[in-house]
Chains A and B, each alone.
Chain A
Amino acid sequence: GQQLNQSPQSMFIQEGEDVSMNCTSSSIFNTWLWYKQDPGEGPVLLIALYKAGELTSNGRLTAQFGITRKDSFLNISASIPSDVGIYFCAGQSSSNTGKLIFGQGTTLQVKP
């Protein structure tokens, strides 16, 4: 079946540093989504990407839909302590069912 490879698996950074994480797939996706999960909560959508090559920002977050439709990255600039959590990429290939394939997650820790 379809698989997403997300890297890095974990990051421990200093407050103020920039962060970059990415996802790659062996299959093409029509939509890429980036979610954040806080401890004890469900994932919450950060950014949605709908077109190959699309670059979208949400505050300090920037994400891109790869031109091949098989990859995406997420950048966080000037990290702050509340950025701590698990970040997931997700790909959607069917617009009829809404089914998502998730990456393994990137655990981010920020040192004040």
Chain B
Amino acid sequence: NAGVTQTPKFQVLKTGQSMTLQCAQDMNHNSMYWYRQDPGMGLRLIYYSASEGTTDKGEVPNGYNVSRLNKREFSLRLESAAPSQTSVYFCATWTGTDTQYFGPGTRLTVL
């Protein structure tokens, strides 16, 4: 039982490059989320998916796209990376009642 897994753990991109961050969960939760964490700003919601087949924008969606591939997987795509997207990205799932469970994070640097 791995919980929430994220790949890759680290990534360095050049401005303009694209990449997809992967997230998978084995807890059978309906809702999944993508956050970014920047120093002194806490975690900010990028996109979320309340259930398979649905996605909605969060607080900071610009420059990102998401895909809820199935119940287990929720990916985050950067089509043209910018230095402002340098951050730590966390995927999370929700039990439907109380807490969200977070993955270990992906540390992204855009040069």
On A, residues with C-beta under 8 Å from B are: 1, 4, 6, 9, 31, 33, 40-45, 48, 50, 88, 96-100, 102-105
Contact = CB atoms under 8 A, between A and B. Distances in A.
Determine chain A's interface SS by DSSP, over half rule: loop
6 contacts: A33-B98, A41-B104, A42-B4, A45-B100, A98-B96, A102-B43
A45 B50 CA distance: 20
A48 B42 contact: no
Contact of B41 (A41, A96, A99, A104): A104
Interface of B: 4, 31, 33, 35, 40-45, 48, 50, 56, 58-59, 90, 92, 94, 96, 98-100, 102-105
8 A-B pairs with the lowest CB-CB distances in the bound complex, closest first: A42-B102, A98-B94, A102-B42, A45-B99, A102-B43, A104-B42, A98-B31, A48-B98
B98 A44 contact: no
A102 B94 CA distance: 15
A33 B92 CA distance: 15
B39 to A, nearest CB: 9
A23 to B, nearest CB: 10
Given A33-B99, A42-B103, A97 B43 contact: no
Contacts of B58: 99
Contact of B105 (A4, A42, A44, A50): A42
Given A42-B105, A105-B42, A100 B100 contact: yes
Contact of A103 (B42, B50, B59, B102): B42
Q: By CB atoms of chain B within 10 A, which of A6, A42, A48 has the most?
A: A42
A9 B43 CA distance: 15
B48 A99 contact: yes
A107 to B, nearest CB: 10
Contacts of B50: 96-98
B102 A99 contact: no
